[in-house]
Amino acid sequence: MTEPFRRWNVLPHGKLTEIDDNILTVTGDIHMPLTDLPRRMTVVRLRDSRLVIFSAIALDEDEMLQLESYGRPSFLIVPNDHHRLDARIWKMRYPAMAVVAPEGSQAKVQEIVAVDTTNPQFDDPDVQFITVPGTGGHEAALLVRSAHGVTLVLNDIVGNIRHSSGFGGWMLRMMGFAGDEPHIPKVAKMKMVEDQKALRDQLLQWANVDSLARILVSHGSPIETRPDETLRELADELK
């Protein structure tokens, strides 16, 4: 596992893209011993223009200027203790940001950066922080409402990497992060999911959210075609 960065370290990444009125997203790659792992950062703009950064990625200066013109970085969500890579350097760049981690990951995250809260108050009814049931408090998610529908932001409990190839792609498929359809990765089931029924119930609850438009995952492509049915299929994996 790559050690968390101590200085602003920009790895390969794409362009910030606005996918809804109040949501930016960008993807990049982490070089692993056997493959390059795609990763995603999601930026949510609150009603007062404060920004919620979910699973931070250090970007080049042009992209950071674009982000800063979008709003004021105010909340840094480390969605589990495996997503600490850029947390320290983001806090160094924006010292006033409140660092957020789910309760079960707090101790590990605090080895890298002080956690301000496990229950952030955004003061925005359209943005909800969720500690995902069934994960022992280790995994965070966001539910974001806009005029165009609802976006569910997930982290490691769903993988949707497409077009993976070679030995590294085979390995990602075996782990459940890659394939022809979304899955709950095997490594997440083994290391994170402590109560399958509780997680299954949460997936089904999300599937019934009115106007669910998309699911964003930290590793893989957005799920924008029948996201409710995808959640029901994922719930079936936990029977």
Measured between alpha carbons, how far is 194 from 200 in angstroms, rounded to an integer? 11
Distance CA 177, CA 222 (A): 13
The predicted pLDDT at position 158 comes to: 93
Q: Looking at 96-110, 156-170, 185-199, which range is the least confident one?
A: 156-170
The token duo for 184 is 């709950």
Write out the H or E segment, with its range, that includes residue 18.
strand 17-20
Give the burial class of 129: count Cβ atoms within 10 A of its Cβ; 0-12 exposed, 13-18 middle, 19 or more buried: buried
The predicted-structure confidence for 108-132, as pLDDT tens digits, reads as follows: 999 999 999 999 999 999 999 999 9
Across all residues in the chain, what is the average pLDDT? Answer: 91
Contact 27, 38 (CB under 8 A): yes
Task: Assign residue 90 the CATH number of its domain.
Answer: 3.60.15.10
Could you give the number of structural domains in the chain? Answer: 1
Evaluate whether residue 204 is within a structural domain: yes
Say how many CA atoms lie within 13 Å of 81 toward its Cβ.
18
In this structure, is residue 87 part of a structural domain? Answer: yes
Whether residue 1 has pLDDT greater than 70: no
The answer as to whether 1 is a domain residue is no
pLDDT category of residue 171 using cuts at 50, 70 and 90: low
Residue percentage of the chain with pLDDT more than 90: 77
Helix (H) or strand (E) holding 224: none
Residue 48 lies in a domain: yes
Q: Can you give the pTM of this predicted structure? A: 0.92
Inform me whether the pLDDT recorded for 6 exceeds 60. yes
What is the pairing mode between strands 140-146 and 212-216? unpaired
What is the residue range of 30's domain? 17-236
The sheet with strand 127-131 has its strands ordered as 127-131, 140-146, 149-153, 212-216
Q: How confident is the model at residue 31 (pLDDT cuts 50, 70, 90)?
A: confident
Cβ neighbours, 10 Å, residue 173? 16
5 belongs to a structural domain: no
55's tokens: 């699973």
Mean pLDDT of 61-71: 97
Q: Which of 2-11, 17-26, 171-180 has the weakest average pLDDT?
A: 171-180
The reply to whether 223 falls in a domain is yes
Residue 7, in any domain of the structure: no
pLDDT of residue 168: 56
How far is it, in rounded angstroms, from Cα 77 to Cα 83?
Answer: 9
